Structure 1
Amino acid sequence: MTDTLLHATTPTSDGSWLSALADWTVSLMEVIGPAGAGAAIALENLFPPLPSEVVLPMAGLTASRGSFTLAEALIWTTVGSVVGAFVLYGIGVWLGAARLRRIAEWMPLMKGEDVDRTVAWFVKHGWAAVFFGRMIPIFRSLISIPAGVSRMPLWKFGLLTAAGSAVWNTIFVMAGYLLGENWHVIERYADILQYFVIAVAVAAIAWFVVVRIRSLAGYRRERQPDGA
Structure 2
Amino acid sequence: METLGAPGAGIAVALENLFPPIPSEVILPLAGFTVSRGDLVFWQVLLWTTAGSVVGALALYGVGALLGRRRVHALAARMPLLKLEDVRRSEDWFARHGRKTVFFGRMVPLFRSLISIPAGIERMPLPTFTLLTAAGSFVWNTVLVTAGYLLGERWSLVERYVEILTYAVITLVVLAVAVFVWRRVRA
Which TM bucket (shorter chain)? Answer: over 0.9
- Corresponding residue to 1:186 among 158, 168, 172: 158
Where in structure 2 are the equivalents of 1:1-228 lying within 5 Å? 29-215=1-187
**Counterpart Cα distance in 2 of 1:73 and 1:67:** 11
Q: Whose relative contact order is higher, 1 or 2, with alpha carbons under 8 Å and at least 6 apart?
A: 2
Question: Any idea what SS the aligned residue of 2:3 has?
Answer: helix
Identity of aligned residues (%): 61
Say which is worse superposed, 125-134 or 49-58, in terms of deviation.
49-58
Instruction: Quote the offset at 1:199 in angstroms.
Output: 0.2
Unaligned runs of 5+ in 1: 1-28, 216-228
The CA distance in 2 between the partners of 1:125 and 1:191, in whole Å, is 27
- Kept in 2, the 8 Å contact 1:38–1:79? The answer is yes
Q: Normalized against structure 1, the TM-score is what?
A: 0.80
Q: TM-score, normalised by structure 2?
A: 0.97
Counterpart position of 1:225:
none
* Aligned-residue RMSD, C-alpha: 1.0
Contact 2:30 2:156 in 1 (8 A): no
CA-to-aligned-CA distance 1:62-121 (integer Å, 9 cap, x gap): 122222200001111100001100000000001111101111111111122222221111
Structure 2: runs of 5+ lacking an equivalent: none
Residue type at the aligned position of 1:62: T
User: Matched residues in 2 for 1:178 and 1:188: separation?
Assistant: 16
* Corresponding letter in the other structure for 2:16: E
Counterpart Cα distance in 2 of 1:186 and 1:33: 21
| Cα distance per residue 1:178-222 (max 9 Å; x no partner) | 11110111122111101100000000100110111122xxxxxxx
Letter in 2 for 1:144: S
Moved over 3 A (4+): none
CA distance in 2, matches of 1:150, 1:166: 24
Please give the secondary structure, in 1, of the residue aligned with 2:81: coil
Larger radius of gyration: 1
